[in-house]
Structure 1
Amino acid sequence: MHTGQDIPRLADIQAIRELSAVYNRAVDDGSVDTFVSIFTDDGRFETVGPSGPIVREGCEALKEVAARPRRQQLHTTTDAVVTMDGDEAKQISALACFKRSQNAGEPPSIGWSLRR
């Protein structure tokens, strides 16, 4: 049974999950300002591209990430598990990236990864 003391914790968990959704939409829409606003001034973005790891740090580098051309993609996260320890929180979720086909009738391609 949850108590009134759980409400701030549950609100924090929901805010973290919503941040993932805002991130996904900013990436898909190419919304530079929204994407950069998700990070702190010394924010760090890490991913793996076709030629290896990609790391960008700081606002200017993050703007470059968000401004790159869109490829008709849709990112979505599922199965989010948020753990909290004081003021620290971690989220682990599954990330699915759908890429629309350029050919009518061809199904979209799908990629999965685990995101923290």
Structure 2
Amino acid sequence: MTETTSVARTADVQEIKMLNAKYNYAVDEADGKAWAACFTKTGVFNALIEGQRPKGPAELEAFVKICNDAFGKMHHLTTNEVIDFDGNTARQKAYLQFFCVKDGKAEGSICVYHDWLELEDGAWKFSRRDVEYKVKFTEFTQAS
């Protein structure tokens, strides 16, 4: 069985993958304004940090500092995106390879993003993003 994808949907997939990259770079570079811009006006992020469920531009922007304070220098890599469309909404599931370096200790973990996306002002944005922790796969402490 062969499945075909329309040119429009191929463009949507590419735009969502670009959104993933913009999100990753923004949080890794501690750019709260750019990170919050990846979400709809009522977007919510269900974080791994206990009690953190920022919603809306102001809370999302402020969360980036909380995240960087908690994890230190971060590197987010998303892969294996599976995206399903329903008109102007979409669902995405993707792996997150998450690396962080804090106090001379580097860690790497695997998580899964569960995303709800909407077209807002002609652009795809996250209306909700949940992070599911899977496993830590590496840990390195620099010698003194």
Pair in the same fold by TM > 0.5:
yes
- Structure 1 runs of 4+ aligned residues shifted over 6 Å read none
- Residue pairs, 1:6-45, within 5 angstroms: 6-45=6-45
Query: Deviation of residue 84 (structure 1)?
Result: 1.1
Q: Indicate how the Cα distance of structure 1 residues 59 and 110 shifts in structure 2: closer, same or farther if over 3 A, else same.
A: same
> What residue in structure 2 maps to residue 74 of structure 1?
75
> What residue in structure 2 maps to residue 100 of structure 1?
101
For residues 100 and 47 of structure 1, the distance between their equivalents in structure 2, rounded to whole angstroms, comes to 18
Unaligned stretches of 5+ in structure 2? 115-144
> What residue in structure 2 maps to residue 48 of structure 1?
48
Q: Indicate how the Cα distance of structure 1 residues 6 and 39 shifts in structure 2: closer, same or farther if over 3 A, else same.
A: same
> What residue in structure 2 maps to residue 64 of structure 1?
62
Q: Cα RMSD over matched residues?
A: 2.2
**Given the two structures, how large is their TM-score scaled by the length of structure 1?**
0.82
For residues 23 and 99 of structure 1, the distance between their equivalents in structure 2, rounded to whole angstroms, comes to 16
Unaligned stretches of 5+ in structure 1? none
Q: Indicate how the Cα distance of structure 1 residues 2 and 48 shifts in structure 2: closer, same or farther if over 3 A, else same.
A: closer
Contact 1:30 1:68 in 2 (8 A): no
**Given the two structures, how large is their TM-score scaled by the length of structure 2?**
0.67
Higher relative strand content: 2
Query: Deviation of residue 95 (structure 1)?
Result: 0.5
Q: Indicate how the Cα distance of structure 1 residues 46 and 34 shifts in structure 2: closer, same or farther if over 3 A, else same.
A: same
Amino acid of the structure 1 residue aligned with 2:18: E
Q: Indicate how the Cα distance of structure 1 residues 17 and 85 shifts in structure 2: closer, same or farther if over 3 A, else same.
A: same
